[in-house]
Amino acid sequence: MQIDAQSRDAALAKFGLSLDRPVLALCPGAEFGEAKRWPSEHYAKVAELKIRAGWQVWIFGSKNDHPVGEDIRGRLIPGLREEAVNLAGETSLAEAIDLLSCAGAVVSNDSGLMHVAAALNRPLVAVYGSTSPGFTPPLAEQVEIVRLGLECSPCFERTCRFGHYDCLGQLKPRRVIEALDRLVADPVEVE
């Protein structure tokens, strides 16, 4: 996928973003439903660790994903929260693509934006819960798939028939951070 530098620069200017630090893009939404959404507290922990390591965080998604973006930001302490920008619902798709092209790494649920990040060949950690990377894999070279592979998954359901969403809830931030570290030579200490 080719990015026009002029439109990318216009998007950066429009949202007051700078590339003075590496960008971790988070894509916490999934229109399919809850069974594809890694918990916001897990996203927040990944954001916290990368911000402490000198990164900035940009959160992407649709208007429906704006509240989860705010939840992620709200879980960060003052001083770190200011390093995370919630762009969910604020950008057009073209602007989101331009801005995602700036990411040094992306963490995404199995979603449309995951496929955009793959098409942009950004280092990508793809989180799977109720779905299977065997059916909808990100087609890129720099990808780490993170999933638990529980007995009940993949179930391909929009909501968890057991009500626990363990396929995502039990998938701890450490696994995603370790996957990021394998993709990007900037290891982060995980508690």
Tell me the average confidence (pLDDT) per consecutive run of 10 residues in the chain, 191 residues long. 90 97 94 79 97 97 95 97 97 96 96 95 94 88 92 85 87 95 70 44
Q: pTM above 0.85?
A: yes
Q: What was the pLDDT predicted at 191?
A: 44
Q: What was the pLDDT predicted at 159?
A: 84
In which order are the strands placed within the sheet that holds 23-27?
84-86, 56-59, 23-27, 105-109, 124-127, 143-146
- Pairing status of strand 23-27 against strand 105-109: parallel
Q: What was the pLDDT predicted at 186?
A: 58
Q: What was the pLDDT predicted at 163?
A: 83
Counting other chains too, the contacts that 155-160 makes at CB distance below 8 Å and 24 or more residues apart are 155/35, 155/130, 156/130, 156/131, 156/132, 157/33, 157/35, 157/130, 158/32, 158/33, 158/34, 158/35, 158/130, 159/33, 159/34, 159/35, 160/34, 160/35, 160/130
Q: What was the pLDDT predicted at 167?
A: 86
Residue ranges of domains in the chain, CATH in brackets: 5-183 (3.40.50.2000)
Q: How far apart are CA 146 and CA 148, in angstroms?
A: 7
Q: What was the pLDDT predicted at 125?
A: 97
